[in-house]
Structure formats: structure tokens, C-alpha cells
Amino acid sequence: MPLSVRPLPAAFAAEILGADLRREPERTLVDTVNAAVAEHAVVVLRDQAITDEHQVRFSRAFGPLELPPQINLRGSIRRRRLGPELYDVSNLDENGDFLPAESLQLASNRANEEFHTDSSFNALPTKWSLLSARILPPFGADTQFIDTRAVYDALPSELRAKAQDAVAEHYFWKTRGRAGFGVITDDMRRAMPPVAHPVVRTMAESGRRALYIGNHATHIVGWPRAEGERFLDELNGFATQPQFIYTHQWRPGDFVIWDNRCTIHRATPYDIFKYKRDLRRTTINEYGPETSSTAAVIDPRMSTI
């Protein structure tokens, strides 16, 4: 079946037909995916019954992997259940059983129910996330996406002018703290310190401007704290209006790619103690060596990427 791109019920989402990720990615497929993501920001490939090795190989065709952070947290089983290249987006332990209620991974999953951009709290040059559906609940557990290019275009002129030169601080522990990480230690803070990013960025592939926002952002650098918090709340509130949202209802074998630089997204809730959900994510950077954000902090040679 030849490759083709078909729009989904959102101006910024599409699906690619005719791809088989079990095969070595050929130039035609790579070019098609690059063009589709540049135009639509969220791209779906259906019926991909793949292994972790297939996913990692395909992802590396588009950039160096961003590896999961190296943090030894009580209750975390990410490093034991999957290989070092993959983020574990599941409610399962290393034996495939439900995680216990006190698991910090479940708290981290709850944080993903807030609109956010993957890895905005990293100094690394994040690019895309690529998520493979392996086990799904019978209903619920959708993912909602927002194209922040369209949001920027629709901003009232006053908000757009204020955003233009603003720089926001993003912090990993903000959403995790709200989700149930009761004690955030100095070691945890040192492993994942805050980083600053411009609120408005220009997409190199299209020249379009996008907002780089979401709930990892804490305040605006150089502004009074309360004023910056209110401004981010205003931007996030405008962006998350229903007309900007595409809700992806997962099917078995779905493989979804989105551009972290111009989207925000969130997971919707489901019964985590009744239904198993196993999604596996690879994340790629625009450039640089394959490393984790924590390794980049530890090694000063990486922090300038």
C-alpha cells in the first residue's frame, strides 16, 4: 500500500496510511513523516504491532534520543520494566501487575493529566515524542492535544504583545508536587533544576510562531512572581478552550507522533486499578548526543547543548 496522508477531525492532526514500522525506515517514509509533522504537529500511524526495538530504530531516524532521567525514586520501576531508551507510560510493575496505590510512578502519571509539553523542564533541545500503544483500557484514557501555533495566531493583540519577549521558567517538580510527590529533596531538585525558555518560538520548518507554555511553566523571568503566574494562567486558559483541542481516542497498535515545540497535551483519567494501560514513549531532540537531562546536569559539557 503506497504511503498517503489523511487529515483527522482537527486542522492540526493527520494519519499516515501504508507505513510498516517493523521495516527499516526508508527515505520515502522519513520524508513523509517529517513533512506531515511539520504541517500538522500531531500524526498517527495505525495498526503498528511493533517491538521496543522497532520503536527505537524508527525514532532514531528523526533525531538523537532523549533518554529518561536517571533518578532513583522510591516506588519507581521505570528503569527495570523497560529498556533505557524508553519512557514507561503505564500503570504496570515489572511483572505486568497493577502498580500499588503508593507508587510514585502513579503520581507522575497523574501529573500528566495536566496540559503540558514533554521535557519543557529540560535544557536539552527537545523535538518530538513518539508513543506506542501496547495495552489499552476498553474506554477512556484518551490524549488531548492543542496546537499552540493556532493558539498564537488567535491570541488577542494585547496578550500576543506581552508574550513576545517573555521568558518562562519550567520546573519538573511543579506538576509532580501537585500530583503526590509529598517530599522533594535537595537531591531531586539538583537532578532536575528549573530551566528558562522563551514563551514564543518560531518553528524553523514552517516559519510559524508558537507558544511554548503548559503547566510545567512556573512564572515569567524578571516579572513580579504573581504577575507572571497570572499571565501564564491567562495564556493556558486561552489555549485550552474547546475549539483548540483534538482528542485522540486510542486504538490498539496506534503510534502517535507529536511536536513538543508547538503542542501541549494531557492524558485523560481512567480506572488505574481495574484496567491495564501500557504505552511506551520515545522522545527525540533536535540535535546533540543521546543523553538524559540528569546526565546533562551532572556533566557540564552537556549543559551547553
In-domain check, residue 278: yes
Lowest mean pLDDT among 74-78, 184-188, 193-197, 259-263: 74-78
Q: What is the pLDDT of residue 191?
A: 80
Q: What is the pLDDT of residue 74?
A: 47
Q: How far apart are CA 140 and CA 217, in angstroms?
A: 27
Per-residue DSSP letters for 98-142? BPPTT-HHHHHHHHTTS-B-TTTT-SS-EEEEEEEEEE--SS---
What 3-state class would DSSP assign to 231? helix
Of residues 262 and 302, the one with the higher pLDDT is 262
pLDDT of 245 over the 60 cut: yes
Per-residue DSSP letters for 79-92? HHHS-TT-EEEESB
Domains identified in the chain, total number: 1
In-domain check, residue 131: yes
Averaging pLDDT over each range in 178-192, 262-276, 290-304, which range is the top one? Answer: 262-276
Q: What is the pLDDT of residue 9?
A: 86
In-domain check, residue 231: yes
pLDDT of 301 over the 60 cut: no
Q: How far apart are CA 156 and CA 288, in angstroms?
A: 37
The string of pLDDT tens digits covering residues 44-55 is 999 999 999 999
Residue 90: CATH number of its domain: 3.60.130.10
In-domain check, residue 303: no
Q: What is the pLDDT of residue 175?
A: 79
Lowest mean pLDDT among 37-46, 66-75, 214-223, 292-301: 292-301
pLDDT of 268 over the 50 cut: yes
Structural domain span for residue 236: 4-298
pLDDT band at 20 (very low <50, low <70, confident <90, very high): very high
Q: What is the average pLDDT value for the chain, to the nearest integer? A: 91
The mean pLDDT of 142-149, rounded to a whole number, is 98
In-domain check, residue 18: yes
In-domain check, residue 276: yes
In-domain check, residue 305: no
The mean pLDDT of 261-274, rounded to a whole number, is 97
Q: What is the model's pTM? A: 0.93
Task: Please say whether the dihedral angle defined by the alpha carbons of residues 111, 233, 237 and 37, taken in this order, is positive or negative.
Answer: negative
pLDDT band at 303 (very low <50, low <70, confident <90, very high): very low
Q: How far apart are CA 103 and CA 91, in angstroms?
A: 9
The string of pLDDT tens digits covering residues 168-209 is 999 988 877 676 666 777 887 888 899 999 999 999 999 999
In-domain check, residue 176: yes
The mean pLDDT of 116-140, rounded to a whole number, is 95
Q: What is the pLDDT of residue 75?
A: 40
pLDDT of 125 over the 70 cut: yes
pLDDT of 70 over the 70 cut: yes
Q: What is the pLDDT of residue 69?
A: 84
